[in-house]
Amino acid sequence: MFSLLNFLPSVTTVILTISSLSLYVIYFLKKRYTHWERRGVPHVRPIALFFGNTKDLALQRVPNAFVFQRIYNELEGHDFGGFYQMFKPAIMLRDPDLIRTVLIKNFSQFHDRFSIIDEKLDPLSNHLLNLAGQRWKNVRYKLTPTFSSGKLKSMQDLMQGCIHELADYLSRCVSDVQNLRELMAKFTTDVIGSCAFGLNCNSIRDENSEFRRIGRLIFKPSKRIRIRNMLRSLGPKLITLLRLKSVHPEVEDFFMSVLKEAVKYRESSALKRNDFLQLLINIQTEEKKQMESNGCHQSVTSNGVSNGIQNGNACTTTNNPKDILFTDSVVASNAFVFFVAGFETIAMTLSYCLYELALNPEICEKLKDEVDSVKEAHDGNLDFDSMKELEYMDAVLAETLRKYPPASILIRRCNEAFCVPGTSVVIEEGTGVYVPVYGLHHDPQFFPEPERFIPERFSQENKHTIVPGSYLPYGDGPRICIGMRFAQYEMKSVLSYLVSNFTFHPCEKTVVPLNYDPRSGLLTPLDGVWVRLQRRSNP
């Protein structure tokens, strides 16, 4: 016993060790939290040890839209300023011209996000939102044709089929009080399933639809996601070490299984559809043919990814999936992210739009009159081309996205040192650059009376007054939302039906103003968006 005690550290040693560690931590944080002050950059002082300026965000006490809006407001009078994401120095941009410089003019220095791609841990992480550099550019280029006018026109019958399902559902509703958040999510799940993947999700008809259940699970807040987001700021390698997936395992298994079956069916039946999934299949098939024509041999990694590299006319076997553009992982990942983005953000925007129509009935009537007028001019039809004439509807949707931007913050990584024009301030490589979309959209300098819903801001007569770089619902520059035109077409299609057939009214469950879920990364309504639908007597 005596010999064992000799090896135990003394109380003095323990105290000295703890004291030394404490002093080091204090020194480290003090140095970190004086980063901007030492560089003479306007900044917001950190408000909490370790958490910097984002304590409420890390602890999920306040929605991220409001956390970054607060930082934006505290930097008033400056074109940009520093703050601390946890203990990491970051830059926030406030000036629209500077924002456009970063997102467009000098995009080559800010082309990436802070993304983590780990195909073994997260097979569905290899998608357009996460990809970086030239690989992102190549994938984006090949996916862009999906959203051409011709492709969107070809989806018209599928889109109308989903609207007919919605109409049938509403005709059978026992109650006229609806949670728009859930109703629109069912509709958009069916649309993205049908138009993009040829799948019958059946979310509107079936209250227990598996697709809708999985859709809810994707965005369900969890401790795993909370911890993962915190570790992203501390050290991304910890995420891999702790095996923290970005997608719930049940979601991953379901989507991989559905996608595999869909591809298998198309191959066995020689079915060809003009949709997103078929484009991915075609791209991968063409790449394989090109590899084979150049004498390239393919191998398969342990996670089932086809690989090969082409070097001039010579091609060798490799286990590096980065050398192949559309691997199985890239195909699955982009199909997944398009499915997710295609129902959630569109559903929220439609919910907020109908909510505002309930609170502003005069806007709803003006919108109906426009729809009726355009229909009458086209023999009662409203197709892809005639929808371009719905200018007031464009303004209503634009104002909805201003007041309720689904993505309230844009984040870019500085890829190489950048000197802010007109200053001596250098943004160092690796620094996070934040564009506060919600803050800009609610700044009275750019949008007077920002809490009022005023579609006329975006009318043909007034939209030229919108300051470029102050309105960014879809982002801007080369990384602007690739599905923007699809989203607009879908929203205009279903809104045309809804305003022609229903009026919308506040009910006992309607909350004014809305509350938002602080656990969500998007601007998500808390407890739904409730209104009363009343069928028009002469639609």
Helices (H), 270-325: 276-293
Residue with tokens 């991953």: 252
CA pair distance 469, 212, nearest whole angstrom: 36
448 cis-preceded (ω within 30 degrees of 0) = no
Helix axes 328-359, 391-403, angle to 10 degrees: 100
414 is in an annotated binding site: no
DSSP string, 132-174: -HHHHHHHHHHHGGGGSHHHHHHTHHHHHHHHHHHHHHHHT-S
CA nearest 214: which of 200, 205, 203, 223? 203
CA pair distance 266, 278, nearest whole angstrom: 9
**C-alpha neighbours within 13 Å on the C-beta side of residue 445:** 13
Distances (CA, A) of 321 to 445, 477, 486: 48, 28, 30
**Are 313 and 294 spatial neighbours (Cβ–Cβ below 8 Å)?**
yes
Long-range contacts of 240-247 (CB under 8 A, 24+ apart): 240/116, 240/118, 240/121, 243/121, 245/121, 245/122, 246/116, 246/122, 246/124, 246/125, 247/122, 247/124, 247/125, 247/218, 247/336
Return the structure tokens found at 160. Answer: 């109308």
Task: List Cβ neighbours of 16 (8 Å cut-off, separation of 6 or more).
Answer: none
**Are 147 and 486 spatial neighbours (Cβ–Cβ below 8 Å)?**
yes
Distance of CA 518 to the CA centre of its chain: 16
Helix (H) or strand (E) holding 494: helix 484-501
Residue 81, burial from CB neighbour count under 10 angstroms (0-12, 13-18, 19+): buried
Distances (CA, A) of 330 to 136, 259, 415: 11, 13, 23
Distances (CA, A) of 144 to 151, 279, 326: 11, 10, 14
Q: Which residues are annotated as a binding site for heme?
A: 481
Q: Which residues are annotated as a binding site?
A: 481
